[in-house]
């Protein structure tokens, strides 16, 4: 199976222990492979850099060059949902861009409310990017299926958090997820966005983050997903 693993940074996937075949410093793509049990998966790893623009552009470029049977986005996220504590690993099946729109005084209008984009214009569904047909993978299906948002500015004030929860009811947020999903949807490649919660979404409190634990848990689950592919 040809698999593309997409991450913003190498730190998020280092514990996977993939064996480097060759890497081109001038390009964000690292070509890797690993023997898993009695099967060999050809695994390419794409390091996009941080942010939704980089994730969308570089994922789309990679998918245009090579046909993959599975694209797997691995990364961290913040949690709005009290049931998803740091270390929880989730499958983000729905994502959206809550900042895409315009201010009208104290009111925010989404791009759909402005009439600039239909709610169901491809690849959107009801204003969201939805993974309607995730890969048939028992380890993936065992994860909590959650709704996410992708932002350029991570939430860190009580006012903006409350407003975002009221308007969009997200469970998690990241800075890359929707960009990855957009690229996979337009290229019609089977995909999954898998994230580990590193922190609760609250006023910035770096001391409460559990980054190392979240990365370790993410990579354990990712290994299981790849083994079951």
Are 98 and 168 in contact by the 8 Å Cβ rule? The answer is yes
d(CA 34, CA 32): 7
- Closest to 72 measured CA to CA, from 144, 124, 137: 137
**What are the DSSP E strand ranges found in 84-215?**
89-96, 101-104, 107-110, 124-125, 128-130, 145-150, 172-174, 191-200
Ramachandran region, residue 25 (left: φ > 0; alpha: ψ -120 to 50; beta: rest): alpha
Q: Which domains does the chain have, with CATH numbers?
A: 2-228 (3.40.50.1580)
Neighbours of 183 (CB within 10 A): 26
pLDDT of residue 44: 87
Residues of the chain short of pLDDT 70, as ranges, are 18-40
Distance of CA 102 to the CA centre of its chain: 25
The pLDDT score that the predictor gives to residue 43 is 85
In tens, the pLDDT along 107-135 reads 889 999 999 999 999 999 999 999 999 99
What pLDDT digit, counting tens, does each position of 69-118 carry? 999 999 999 999 999 999 999 999 999 999 999 999 988 899 999 999 99
d(CA 224, CA 138): 9
Query: How far apart (Å, rounded) are the C-alpha atoms in residues 203 and 159?
Result: 10
Q: What is the pTM for the complete model shown?
A: 0.91
Helices (H), the chain: 52-65, 138-141, 158-168, 177-187, 211-228
Residue 172 — φ and ψ, nearest 5°?
Answer: -140, 160
Contacts of 187 (CB under 8 A, 6+ apart): 60, 63, 64
Whether the Cβ atoms of residue 43 and residue 32 lie closer than 8 Å to each other: yes
């Amino acid at each position: 199976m040809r698999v593309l693993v997409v991450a913003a940074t190498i730190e998020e996937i280092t514990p996977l222990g993939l064996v480097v075949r060759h890497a081109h410093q001038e390009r964000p793509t690292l070509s890797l492979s690993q023997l898993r049990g009695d099967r060999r998966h050809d695994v390419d790893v794409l390091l996009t850099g941080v942010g939704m623009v980089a994730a969308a552009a570089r994922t789309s470029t990679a998918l245009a060059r090579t046909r993959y049977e599975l694209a797997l986005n691995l990364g961290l996220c913040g949690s709005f949902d009290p049931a998803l504590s740091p270390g929880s690993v989730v499958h983000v099946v729905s994502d959206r861009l809550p900042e895409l729109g315009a201010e009208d005084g104290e009111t925010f209008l989404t791009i759909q409310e402005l009439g600039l984009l239909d709610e169901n214009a491809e690849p959107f569904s009801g204003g969201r990017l939805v993974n309607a047909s995730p890969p048939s993978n028992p380890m993936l299906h065992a994860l909590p299926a959650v709704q996410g948002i992708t932002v350029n500015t991570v939430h860190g004030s009580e006012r903006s958090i409350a407003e975002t929860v009221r308007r969009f009811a997200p469970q998690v947020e990241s800075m890359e997820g929707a960009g990855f999903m957009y690229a996979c949807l337009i290229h019609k490649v089977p995909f999954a966005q898998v994230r580990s919660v590193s922190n609760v979404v609250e006023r910035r409190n770096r001391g409460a983050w559990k980054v190392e634990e979240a990365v370790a848990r993410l990579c354990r689950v990712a290994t299981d997903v790849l083994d079951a592919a």
